[in-house]
């Protein structure tokens, strides 16, 4: 099995006629993902990589009622409208690749999504992959180099490190059930905690790996979830940003990677996760040995 996406995922691309939308569509189709429609207002009737384009989600659903996932690659100023359109049309999984969306727009859309039982992964996500089944978004580049089917779940704030983390496991002959890039913004629609809850229920996921970084409290929330909800599977984590604590109040890389008032430090995250029983890698490649030891492989 897997979480969020599988061989039954049917994908709509919002912003399909833009450069990024077209490129993502090409990558997804090449992997075998089922991209069935695209939406760009005013561009209905066109085709992108043989995928039909519609003016609205409502139009696309009339022709393709099987759509259950949207990938959003529109300019930041149009992202709020795109998310709301997807939510109002009851698209259950919404993967937002777009960066630089105003934080108030993101917060409003996440709240609306929760009210309508929709999941927003992102913004600033690079996508999700369940190897051998489905890939959405821009994740992975040459996916066959980094990913292989298996039983390790990976959750990462960093898009690039989603692939790098999968790759070090593949080199060790260990595949992945699902790899989720949750995005590195201050506010995300889908957190480490949310992913852990789904991985806990997935019988094919035997262990979970977290790639975290300084800033925010998502790692601390994950630690609390593990303790309170009784997460039963081995979990290993690497928290990047050792040097950054010497530079307080400086944003590093991602919008969410900022330490304020003593919160969001690597030290606080590592302590919380250790207290919850999570195995901590001091260097990235140690994740593999920690997981192998926990699973006795």
Sequence-separated (6 or more) residues with CB below 8 Å from residue 30:
none
Q: Quick one: 84 exposed, middle or buried, by C-beta within 10 A (0-12, 13-18, 19+)? A: middle
Q: Which two tokens stand for residue 149?
A: 């089917």
Catalytic residues: 254
Note every long-range contact of 79-83, with CB atoms under 8 Å and residues 24 or more positions apart, other chains counting.
79/105, 79/123, 80/105, 80/108, 80/109, 82/14, 82/15, 83/109, 83/112, 83/113, 83/120
Nearest by Cα to 105 from 93, 113, 115, 117:
113
CA atoms within 13 A on the CB side of 158: 20
Radius of gyration in angstroms for the set of CA atoms belonging to the chain, rounded to a whole number: 19
Q: Residue ranges of the alpha helices (H) in the chain?
A: 19-31, 57-63, 76-88, 103-115, 143-146, 159-171, 192-201, 218-229, 266-275, 286-295
What is the C-alpha to C-alpha distance for residues 173 and 126, in angstroms, rounded to an integer? 24
């Amino acid at each position: 099995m897997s979480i969020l996406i599988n061989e039954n995922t049917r994908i709509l691309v919002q912003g399909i006629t833009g450069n990024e939308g077209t490129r993502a569509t090409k990558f997804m189709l090449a992997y075998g993902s089922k991209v069935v429609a695209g939406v760009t207002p005013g561009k209905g009737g066109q085709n992108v990589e043989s995928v039909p384009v519609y003016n609205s989600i409502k139009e696309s659903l009339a022709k393709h009622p099987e759509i259950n996932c949207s990938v959003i690659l529109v300019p930041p100023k149009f992202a709020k409208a795109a998310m709301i359109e997807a939510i109002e049309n009851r698209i259950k999984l919404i993967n937002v690749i777009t960066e630089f969306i105003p934080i108030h727009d993101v917060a409003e859309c996440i709240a609306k999504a929760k009210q309508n039982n929709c999941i927003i992964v992102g913004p600033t996500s690079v996508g999700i992959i369940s190897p051998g089944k489905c890939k959405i978004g821009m994740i992975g580049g040459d996916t066959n180099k980094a990913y292989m089917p298996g039983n390790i779940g990976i959750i990462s704030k960093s898009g690039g490190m989603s692939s790098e983390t999968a790759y070090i496991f593949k080199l060790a002959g260990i595949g992945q059930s699902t790899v989720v890039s949750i995005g590195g913004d201050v506010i995300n629609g889908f957190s480490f905690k949310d992913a852990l809850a789904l991985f806990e229920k997935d019988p094919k996921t035997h262990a979970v790996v977290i790639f975290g970084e300084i800033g925010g409290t998502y790692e601390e929330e994950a630690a609390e979830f593990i303790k309170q909800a009784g997460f039963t599977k081995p979990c290993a984590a690497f928290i990047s940003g050792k040097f950054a604590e010497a530079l307080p109040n400086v944003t590093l890389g991602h919008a969410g990677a900022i330490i304020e008032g003593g919160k969001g430090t690597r030290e606080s995250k590592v302590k919380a996760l250790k207290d919850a029983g999570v195995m901590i890698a001091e260097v990235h490649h140690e994740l593999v040995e920690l997981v192998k030891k926990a699973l006795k492989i």
